[in-house]
Amino acid sequence: MPTDVQFMPNQKLLTTEEIAQAVRIFVDMGVNKIRLTGGEPMVRKEFPEIVEFLGSLPVKLAITTNGYYLDKYLHSLKKAGLTRVNISLDTLRKDRFYAIVKRDHFDRCRENISLALDHGFDVKINIVVMKNTNDDEILDFIRWSIKDQIQVRFIEFMPFYHNQWDLTKTVGAKEILDIIAQEFEFQPVAGDQHDTARNYQVKEGKGTFGIISTVTAPFCDGCNRIRLTADGKLKNCLFAVNELDILTPLRQGEDIKPLIYDYFWKKKASLGGLKKFTDPGAKEDYERNRGMVAIGG
């Protein structure tokens, strides 16, 4: 999270009751998997109540977190039946962690990852790979996936509002695979048509690794996701600039199902209808979007 992030007033955010109301509607419309994301979802003081409610629904439940509060809420997650944890960790080096995250939480995050593994969680480690920042650690992460039963997921650096994105900073899927192939033999792992990651396994490795290649090989044709932001906006694509406000009509007692259906059908064929990443002016196009911290990764 940026050090200068501006927080929204509470009255502009979905309350716990409004989250429950909206989620019931989505589940009634056929949603069968829910992922809590952030920012950091566990900083919300009502987190235990929210995850307990979600655990009572007929859905697969998952969370993306930086891992800092994982020990505090481990019992709440297990009680809710949540077994899938994605943990963001862009480096395995303590000094580099501080340089990237601007917080001295490396040891605690690593300890909480081990704790999650010890308690039988399905753990995925998300790494945003950036040129000349952490691309020299790709093989270190692969060695970790060989040793432990985790899935390491390399994510291509993507453009958002004021994140200093440049195509030259993006390490593409082919380049990542070429680096891994210099030292390891690996093979593809079959997945689902809606998966965001293309998955692989190193020979005799306990875990797996995957690549989310949004920039160099977008997976838009298989995407079936929709995001609900903390301030009650729907995004039918991670890069969608045009959002749908459902919080206002929800508070006014309106039926929001027709609005949601209409917004589903307005989903663009790829990349929220924006330019290709390699097109002139692409950076300016994508910076019309929110910052990732305000979307939910």
Global pTM reads 0.94
- Structure confidence by residue, pLDDT tens digits, 14-66: 999 999 999 999 999 999 999 999 879 999 999 999 999 999 999 999 999 99
Of the candidates 237, 251, 249, the one whose C-alpha atom is nearest the C-alpha of residue 290 is 237
What is the predicted pLDDT for the residue at 3? 64
What is the predicted pLDDT for the residue at 17? 97
How is the chain split into domains, by residue range? 10-294
| Three-state DSSP state, 271 | helix
What is the predicted pLDDT for the residue at 297? 59
Banded model confidence at residue 4, pLDDT cuts 50, 70, 90: low
The total of other beta-carbon atoms located within 10 Å of residue 183's CB is 11
Average pLDDT over residues 200-215: 95
| Cα–Cα distance measured from residue 1 to residue 180, given in angstroms and rounded to the nearest whole number | 29
pLDDT, the chain, mean: 93
| Cα–Cα distance measured from residue 258 to residue 109, given in angstroms and rounded to the nearest whole number | 42
Cα angle 135, 41, 201; round to 5? 40
Q: Please tell me the CATH code under which domain 10-294 is placed.
A: 3.20.20.70
Q: CB of 124 within 8 A of CB of 62?
A: no
What is the predicted pLDDT for the residue at 102? 87
The total of other beta-carbon atoms located within 10 Å of residue 30's CB is 6
pLDDT greater at residue 6 or residue 42: 42
